[in-house]
Structure formats: C-alpha cells, structure tokens
Amino acid sequence: MVAQRLSGDLRWVVAGSPRYLDEHGTPTHPDELKQHRCLGVRLGDDSVYRWEFEGPKGDFDVPSKSAMTADDSRSTLAMALNGAGLTFGLEPLLAKHVADGNLPLVLTDWATTGPAFYLYYSGRRQLPAGLRALLAIAGELKPLG
C-alpha cells in the first residue's frame, strides 16, 4: 500500500459570526458551550459529532446541545456565517471567512490538532490515469494546507 499525504496535521476550531457573538457573547471555556447555540454535524450512525478540545489535562470532548444539525460541514458553515450559532470544523475550511472577519475563531486556546488526511492506494504499478490525475491535482492545490 502507498499512503499519499494530502494535508498537514489539521487543527479543529470553533467559530461564530460577529453578529452571533455580539448577541450571545464569546465563550472562553468549552464548558460554556452549554449556554450557546452549537451547530452539529450528524454522522453516518445518526449520532451528532462531539466537539473535541485539548486542555491542560489532555484531550476531551464536549457533548454540545445542537440547535440545528446538518449532514455536512458546508451546511453548518453557511448557518454560522448567517448568525445561527457556533460551528466546529477544520481550520483550513474556515480560513477564508476567518481572514475576511466574517467568522472569528473562539476557544483557540482549547483547539485540538488531528492527523493529516491521506489517500491510500494499492501500489505505483499500473496506476489508473484517474488516480494519477487526482494525485497531481491534490499535490498542486493542497486543498487543506
């Protein structure tokens, strides 16, 4: 098997629109998420993803009360940009909106880092043209930093 790294290690962050933060305040500790509208992502087993954090005593997760849930992070991103609540996601996916000031990060001292994404395939011999093209595009675009 060949493992092609697609990204660097990934940082998971919490963000909310300026309007949401003005109306509801900015959490300073993950425990405060219980008082906030969190936008959840529903997993394939019908559970809602538990937000993960890193603190002085190690990694932990928080069962956030989801005001709304979606099946993908693009939907929760759109909801967060429109002031519906806080979203939890990969920093590279939120970076443009963070840079524009449309989605400030919160709880950055508690952000956790996860492993990179990889593409696994059976070998370099007789590599299908489509897979070869995908690897080239991923190498050029670096979609997740």
Q: Residue 123 domain-assigned?
A: no
Looking at the domain assignment, is residue 143 inside a domain? no
Q: Provide the domain count of the chain.
A: 1
Residue 101: the pLDDT is: 97
pTM, to two decimals: 0.83
> 35 in a domain, yes or no?
yes
State the residue range of the domain holding 46.
9-114
What pLDDT, on a 0 to 100 scale, did the predictor assign at position 145? Answer: 64
The most confident of the ranges 47-51, 79-83, 122-126 is 79-83
Q: Per the domain annotation, does 130 fall within a domain?
A: no
User: Would residue 76 count as lying in a domain?
Assistant: yes
Q: Mind listing the pLDDT tens digit for each residue in 9-46? A: 899 999 999 999 999 999 999 999 999 999 998 888 98
Burial of 112-132, coded b for 16+ CB within 10 Å and e otherwise, reads beeeebeeeeeeeeeeeeeee
Dist. CA 25–CA 129, nearest whole Å:
51
- The CATH number that applies at residue 87 is 3.40.190.10
* pLDDT tens digits for range 121-134: 887 778 889 988 98
96: in domain: yes
Strand partners, 121: 2
In what helix (H) or strand (E) does residue 73 lie, and over which residues does it extend? helix 73-81
pLDDT tops 80 at residue 88: yes
Computed over every residue of the chain, the mean pLDDT equals 90
Establish if 141 belongs to a structural domain.
no
Is 38 among the domain residues? yes
